[in-house]
Amino acid sequence: MSAESKPTDPLAPLVRKLLEELGEDAGRQGLLRTPERVARSMRFLTSGYERDLDRVVNGAIFDEAASEVVLVKDIEFYSMCEHHLLPFYGKVHVGYIPDGRVIGLSKLPRIVEMFARRLQVQERMTVQVAEAVEKALQPAGVAVIAEAAHLCMMMRGVSKQSSVTTTSCMLGAFRDDQRTRSEFLSLVYGETRIR
Protein backbone atom coordinates (compact mmCIF):
# COMPACT_ATOMS: atom_id res chain seq x y z
CA MET A 1 0.00 0.00 0.00
CA SER A 2 1.53 3.32 -1.00
CA ALA A 3 1.73 6.27 1.37
CA GLU A 4 -0.94 8.06 -0.66
CA SER A 5 -3.44 5.19 -0.42
CA LYS A 6 -2.90 4.58 3.29
CA PRO A 7 -6.16 5.32 5.11
CA THR A 8 -6.15 8.46 7.23
CA ASP A 9 -6.87 8.13 10.93
CA PRO A 10 -10.27 9.80 11.57
CA LEU A 11 -8.55 11.97 14.20
CA ALA A 12 -6.22 13.59 11.63
CA PRO A 13 -8.83 15.86 9.96
CA LEU A 14 -9.98 16.96 13.41
CA VAL A 15 -6.40 17.94 14.32
CA ARG A 16 -6.09 19.81 11.03
CA LYS A 17 -9.31 21.70 11.83
CA LEU A 18 -7.99 22.45 15.33
CA LEU A 19 -4.78 23.91 13.86
CA GLU A 20 -6.82 26.08 11.51
CA GLU A 21 -9.12 27.24 14.33
CA LEU A 22 -6.01 28.24 16.30
CA GLY A 23 -5.03 30.52 13.40
CA GLU A 24 -2.35 28.28 11.88
CA ASP A 25 -1.79 27.47 8.24
CA ALA A 26 -2.21 23.69 8.39
CA GLY A 27 -0.75 23.51 4.86
CA ARG A 28 2.63 25.00 5.72
CA GLN A 29 5.65 22.70 5.60
CA GLY A 30 6.15 22.25 9.34
CA LEU A 31 2.50 21.29 9.88
CA LEU A 32 1.79 19.22 6.76
CA ARG A 33 2.07 15.86 8.54
CA THR A 34 1.24 17.10 12.05
CA PRO A 35 -2.38 15.88 11.96
CA GLU A 36 -1.27 12.29 11.28
CA ARG A 37 1.51 12.48 13.89
CA VAL A 38 -0.86 13.85 16.52
CA ALA A 39 -3.44 11.16 15.68
CA ARG A 40 -0.83 8.40 16.13
CA SER A 41 0.37 10.01 19.34
CA MET A 42 -3.15 10.28 20.78
CA ARG A 43 -3.89 6.65 19.86
CA PHE A 44 -0.77 5.58 21.77
CA LEU A 45 -1.41 7.86 24.75
CA THR A 46 -4.94 6.48 25.11
CA SER A 47 -4.16 2.84 24.27
CA GLY A 48 -5.29 1.78 27.75
CA TYR A 49 -8.86 1.67 26.47
CA GLU A 50 -7.86 -1.35 24.37
CA ARG A 51 -6.58 -3.30 27.39
CA ASP A 52 -8.49 -5.25 30.02
CA LEU A 53 -7.43 -6.74 33.34
CA ASP A 54 -7.62 -10.41 32.31
CA ARG A 55 -5.36 -9.86 29.30
CA VAL A 56 -2.93 -7.73 31.31
CA VAL A 57 -2.62 -10.27 34.14
CA ASN A 58 -2.55 -13.12 31.62
CA GLY A 59 -2.79 -15.86 34.26
CA ALA A 60 0.31 -14.70 36.18
CA ILE A 61 -1.17 -15.44 39.61
CA PHE A 62 0.60 -18.07 41.67
CA ASP A 63 -0.20 -19.95 44.86
CA GLU A 64 2.23 -18.82 47.54
CA ALA A 65 2.16 -18.92 51.33
CA ALA A 66 3.49 -15.34 51.59
CA SER A 67 1.46 -13.11 53.89
CA GLU A 68 3.61 -10.01 54.33
CA VAL A 69 3.49 -6.75 52.38
CA VAL A 70 4.59 -6.92 48.75
CA LEU A 71 5.46 -3.50 47.36
CA VAL A 72 6.50 -2.29 43.93
CA LYS A 73 7.32 1.37 44.19
CA ASP A 74 8.40 4.15 41.87
CA ILE A 75 6.42 2.83 38.91
CA GLU A 76 6.71 5.66 36.39
CA PHE A 77 3.57 6.65 34.54
CA TYR A 78 2.40 9.21 32.01
CA SER A 79 -1.24 10.10 31.56
CA MET A 80 -3.51 12.75 30.04
CA CYS A 81 -5.73 15.03 32.10
CA GLU A 82 -9.29 14.63 30.85
CA HIS A 83 -10.10 18.26 31.64
CA HIS A 84 -7.44 19.94 29.49
CA LEU A 85 -5.87 17.10 27.46
CA LEU A 86 -2.52 17.99 28.97
CA PRO A 87 -0.11 15.42 30.40
CA PHE A 88 0.40 14.53 34.02
CA TYR A 89 3.16 12.21 35.07
CA GLY A 90 4.83 10.77 38.12
CA LYS A 91 5.23 7.61 40.13
CA VAL A 92 2.86 5.05 41.58
CA HIS A 93 3.57 2.79 44.56
CA VAL A 94 1.50 -0.41 44.67
CA GLY A 95 1.43 -2.72 47.67
CA TYR A 96 -0.65 -5.69 48.68
CA ILE A 97 -0.81 -8.35 51.36
CA PRO A 98 -1.09 -11.81 49.77
CA ASP A 99 -3.79 -14.20 50.97
CA GLY A 100 -2.31 -17.39 49.58
CA ARG A 101 -1.61 -15.97 46.11
CA VAL A 102 0.87 -13.58 44.52
CA ILE A 103 0.88 -11.83 41.17
CA GLY A 104 3.82 -11.64 38.78
CA LEU A 105 5.66 -8.46 39.73
CA SER A 106 5.70 -7.11 36.17
CA LYS A 107 1.91 -7.19 36.13
CA LEU A 108 1.62 -4.35 38.66
CA PRO A 109 3.31 -1.79 36.35
CA ARG A 110 1.20 -3.14 33.49
CA ILE A 111 -1.97 -2.53 35.51
CA VAL A 112 -0.80 1.02 36.22
CA GLU A 113 -0.08 1.53 32.51
CA MET A 114 -3.50 0.21 31.51
CA PHE A 115 -5.24 2.95 33.50
CA ALA A 116 -2.65 5.68 32.91
CA ARG A 117 -3.03 5.36 29.13
CA ARG A 118 -6.54 6.78 29.22
CA LEU A 119 -7.98 10.24 29.64
CA GLN A 120 -7.83 10.47 33.42
CA VAL A 121 -7.95 12.27 36.67
CA GLN A 122 -5.30 11.15 39.14
CA GLU A 123 -7.83 10.45 41.87
CA ARG A 124 -9.78 7.96 39.74
CA MET A 125 -6.65 6.32 38.33
CA THR A 126 -5.37 5.62 41.85
CA VAL A 127 -8.62 3.91 42.84
CA GLN A 128 -8.81 1.98 39.56
CA VAL A 129 -5.32 0.53 40.08
CA ALA A 130 -6.16 -0.54 43.65
CA GLU A 131 -9.48 -2.07 42.68
CA ALA A 132 -7.91 -3.95 39.75
CA VAL A 133 -5.24 -5.51 42.00
CA GLU A 134 -7.96 -6.43 44.49
CA LYS A 135 -10.11 -7.99 41.76
CA ALA A 136 -7.23 -9.97 40.24
CA LEU A 137 -5.77 -11.29 43.48
CA GLN A 138 -8.31 -11.05 46.33
CA PRO A 139 -5.50 -10.16 48.76
CA ALA A 140 -5.89 -9.24 52.43
CA GLY A 141 -5.29 -5.61 51.48
CA VAL A 142 -4.20 -3.28 48.68
CA ALA A 143 -2.55 0.13 48.95
CA VAL A 144 -1.78 2.52 46.12
CA ILE A 145 -0.17 5.95 46.27
CA ALA A 146 0.27 8.11 43.18
CA GLU A 147 2.44 11.24 43.06
CA ALA A 148 2.25 13.41 39.98
CA ALA A 149 3.04 16.72 38.36
CA HIS A 150 0.22 18.12 36.24
CA LEU A 151 1.01 20.27 33.22
CA CYS A 152 -2.46 21.80 33.46
CA MET A 153 -1.26 23.39 36.73
CA MET A 154 2.27 24.07 35.52
CA MET A 155 1.65 25.59 32.06
CA ARG A 156 -1.67 27.37 32.57
CA GLY A 157 -3.98 28.52 35.35
CA VAL A 158 -2.04 28.93 38.58
CA SER A 159 1.33 28.18 36.88
CA LYS A 160 2.86 26.37 39.86
CA GLN A 161 5.80 24.44 38.43
CA SER A 162 6.92 22.73 41.65
CA SER A 163 3.59 21.38 42.86
CA VAL A 164 3.08 17.64 43.28
CA THR A 165 -0.31 16.01 43.76
CA THR A 166 -0.50 12.90 45.95
CA THR A 167 -3.48 10.55 45.99
CA SER A 168 -4.00 7.26 47.79
CA CYS A 169 -6.39 4.35 47.95
CA MET A 170 -6.27 1.90 50.85
CA LEU A 171 -8.37 -1.27 50.77
CA GLY A 172 -8.78 -4.15 53.23
CA ALA A 173 -6.07 -4.40 55.89
CA PHE A 174 -4.44 -1.15 54.78
CA ARG A 175 -7.68 0.71 55.40
CA ASP A 176 -8.70 -1.15 58.57
CA ASP A 177 -5.38 -1.48 60.43
CA GLN A 178 -3.37 1.65 61.27
CA ARG A 179 -0.18 -0.38 61.88
CA THR A 180 -0.41 -2.04 58.47
CA ARG A 181 -1.00 1.32 56.80
CA SER A 182 1.95 2.81 58.72
CA GLU A 183 4.19 -0.07 57.61
CA PHE A 184 3.25 0.55 53.97
CA LEU A 185 3.91 4.29 54.27
CA SER A 186 7.25 3.58 55.92
CA LEU A 187 8.23 1.23 53.11
CA VAL A 188 7.24 3.82 50.49
CA TYR A 189 8.74 6.90 52.11
CA GLY A 190 11.51 5.41 54.29
CA GLU A 191 15.14 6.12 53.61
CA THR A 192 16.16 2.60 52.56
CA ARG A 193 16.53 2.57 48.77
CA ILE A 194 18.17 0.16 46.35
CA ARG A 195 19.70 2.12 43.50
Select which of 24, 36, 84, 134 is catalytic.
Answer: 84
**93 flagged as catalytic:** no
**169 flagged as catalytic:** no
Select which of 93, 150, 169, 183 is catalytic.
Answer: 150
**128 flagged as catalytic:** no
**84 flagged as catalytic:** yes
**138 flagged as catalytic:** no
Going by C-alpha positions, the residue among 116, 49, 62, 109 that lies closest to residue 89 is 116
**83 flagged as catalytic:** yes
Select which of 24, 134, 138, 152 is catalytic.
Answer: 152
Select which of 76, 83, 123, 161 is catalytic.
Answer: 83
Select which of 81, 93, 120, 183 is catalytic.
Answer: 81
Select which of 50, 82, 123, 161 is catalytic.
Answer: 82
Residues identified as active-site: 81-84, 122, 150, 152
